[in-house]
Every structure is written in C-alpha cells, then in structure tokens.
Amino acid sequence: ETGVTQSPTHLIKTRGQQVTLRCSSQSGHNTVSWYQQALGQGPQFIFQYYREEENGRGNFPPRFSGLQFPNYSSELNVNALELDDSALYLCASSLRAAEAFFGQGTRLTVV
C-alpha cells in the first residue's frame, strides 16, 4: 500500500508567476484535502475534493484552485503568486473518515 506522495518537494517561484503542485493519494482513498502551513503555524485548510468535485473550501482567494482526477490524484494551482504564499503545502487523503493521512509536503518559496 503506497502512502501519500507530493511533488515537487521544493520549488522557488517569482512573484506573479503561477505554480502547480501535485499529490497522489493513498491507495483506495477517494478524498483529498489541501492545507497551507506557514512558518510557526498549524496547517490551514484550503479545500477538499471528493470524487472529483470540490467538497468544501477554506478562507483562500479564488487564485487558489484545484482538481481531482479519476484516479483520485490531485493538483493545487496558485495564480499570481504573492510573497505571503511562501509556505509548506500539504496534501492529505482519506476515505470519508476523519483520519487524514498527509504527504511530506511541498515547500514553496516566492521571491
């Protein structure tokens, strides 16, 4: 059974650019959630996808968008990057139960 994997692990982008982060969910898990963790803070919910449909969204602007594919993998897209978008982005998968299993995260730095 493979766990949650995220790619890339690190990347550096320039303010104003766009970025796509990827997540492969744990085998059999049909729900993927994305979180942003700023330095010294707990993870903050961005949005969740269940069977390819958005199933809840946190307090993030529309330039944060996502997709879930038929194999339940997912993408997080961020447009018009700002310096404050620098953070660890975490993907979590679950099976309609509250125990979410997290990937190792993608460290995004916006300069």
Range 93-97 contact pairs with CB under 8 angstroms and sequence separation of 24 or more = 93/4, 93/23, 93/25, 93/26, 93/29, 93/31, 93/32, 93/33, 94/29, 94/31, 94/33, 95/28, 95/29, 95/30, 95/31, 96/30, 96/31, 96/50
In whole angstroms, give the CA distance from residue 51 to residue 111.
Answer: 35
Q: Applying CB under 8 A, what is the total number of residues that bind other proteins?
A: 29
Decide if residue 96 touches other proteins (CB under 8 A). Answer: yes
Identify which of residues 3 and 16 has a Cβ nearer to other proteins in the complex: 3
Q: Is 102 in the site for other proteins (CB under 8 A)?
A: yes
19 vs 106, beta carbon nearer other proteins: 106
Write out the two tokens for 32.
Answer: 């993927």
What part of residues 21-80 is at the interface with other proteins (CB under 8 A)? 31, 33, 35, 40-45, 48, 50, 56, 58
Rounded least distance, CB 60 to other proteins, Å: 12
State which residue, 83 or 97, has the beta carbon closest to other proteins. Answer: 97
Instruction: Give contact residues for other proteins (rule: CB under 8 A).
Output: 4, 6, 31, 33, 35, 40-45, 48, 50, 56, 58, 90, 92, 94-105
